Homo-oligomer: A and B are copies of this chain.
Amino acid sequence: MTSSSPITIMKMKLNHCSPSPPYTTAAARRLLPPLIGHHQIQLRSSLGPTLHNSPSFSARAIIARSASSSSSFVITAAMASEASVKVIDGKKVAKDIRDEINAEISRMKDSIGVVPGLAVILVGERKDSATYVRNKKKACETVGIKSYEVCLPENSTEEEVLKYISDFNDDPMVHGILVQLPLPSHMDEQKILNAVCIEKDVDGFHPLNIGRLAMRGRETSFVPCTPKGCIELLHRYNVEIKGKRAVVIGRSNIVGMPAALLLQREDATVSIVHSRTRNPEEITRQADIIISAVGQPNMVRGSWIKPGAVIIDVGINPVEDATNPRGYRLVGDVCYEEACKVASAITPVPGGVGPMTIAMLLSNTLLSAKRIHNFK
């Protein structure tokens, strides 16, 4: 993942779910021109290094199986029509949530004079990271959260970063601390993330947070933003989770795994499909709810989807598109056109899960301020 890596954008025909896309590399995403609005945050969170640490899905093999079973699928899917699918509007929900947060912050300020504060630590000069941080700052401003920013040079020492974290841990004006990832390679990411005190870990990545999420009867402190956003979309669209079959595709620490834990907390029967799963299509087709977070463009085809299923597509994958002035466009993990014909509801890409991540970060920061000041 050096900056000299070639840009590999998916080569596929416009408006088609290509059968065998090459994988988008993290380097490609990093080098892409800046994207619009909050999707940048989503791109960082859901498609960062963690997701890509796992071996890739064998897309070719999967799609070969998919094709062989497509005839029987078409018959079933014929019952559904594109017109009936509900598009889950993440952009609108995120806006609603920001408005609610804004109102709560005003109430808190008026009542106890406290303004929630979010500190962001950025190390190095990565352009994408700088853009994400800028967007977080903007989003904070829109809801009335005060943002504190520290930008350190690439060659900073671990100790310098830890010192800033320690200061923010002690600062009563700061209720949330976020270390922008990835960190320069000479730093121990785990060590640095673990230094953020658990009460201000609004990203929710601390293992203690994850442990609480996994355990029944334990109260969670902060739920990681992207999976929290997925579940929030289901709630806001009144999708029943209890007793439903849910399949999470991908098992990353920041999306797939916590999403599975959240679904289980809500009494879904959860299966986790990952790169080592031998029959992902067959298992996914059993799901009433699909959350996909693998970063493989159009991997989930129509034949993977049970008629009437609800789909939350976390993937944001750039694919080559000569007709687009930028030379690429964004697609999800799910082949949207095919899915629309089978699913009962689906998040679009962009405009689905993307805008929710930062809304949840703001929500966690407000939650933290309320907790610290015991404000109900």
Footprint of B on A, CB under 8 Å? 50, 53-54, 190, 206-218, 242-243, 245, 251-253, 257, 261, 264, 267-274, 276-278, 283
Contact = CB atoms under 8 A, between A and B. Distances in A.
A251 B270 CA distance: 11
Nearest to A209: B211
Nearest to A283: B269
A277 B209 CA distance: 26
30 contacts: A50-B216, A53-B217, A54-B216, A206-B211, A207-B208, A207-B212, A207-B218, A208-B208, A208-B211, A210-B210, A210-B211, A211-B212, A211-B213, A211-B214, A213-B214, A214-B214, A214-B261, A216-B251, A217-B253, A243-B276, A243-B278, A245-B278, A251-B264, A264-B272, A268-B276, A269-B272, A269-B273, A269-B274, A269-B276, A270-B271
A198 B91 CA distance: 42
A274 B211 CA distance: 19
Contacts of A274: 267, 269
Nearest to A278: B243
Output the residue of A190, A207, A210, A253 with the most chain B CB within 10 A: A207
Given A206-B211, A211-B206, A211-B207, A216 B269 contact: no
Contact of A270 (B209, B242, B272): B272
A253 B265 CA distance: 12
A216 B252 contact: yes
Nearest to A217: B53
Contacts of A251: 216, 264
Contacts of A268: 276
Contacts of A216: 50, 53-54, 251-253, 257
Given A207-B214, A215-B257, A269-B277, 11 more contacts: A207-B208, A207-B212, A207-B215, A208-B211, A210-B215, A213-B214, A251-B264, A269-B271, A269-B276, A270-B272, A271-B271
Nearest to A247: B271
Contacts of A190: 218
Contacts of A211: 206-214
A251 B212 CA distance: 14
Nearest to A266: B276
Contacts of A283: 245, 269
A264 B274 CA distance: 10
A274 B272 CA distance: 15
Contacts of A207: 208, 211-212, 214-215, 218
A22 to B, nearest CB: 24
Nearest to A244: B278
A138 to B, nearest CB: 31
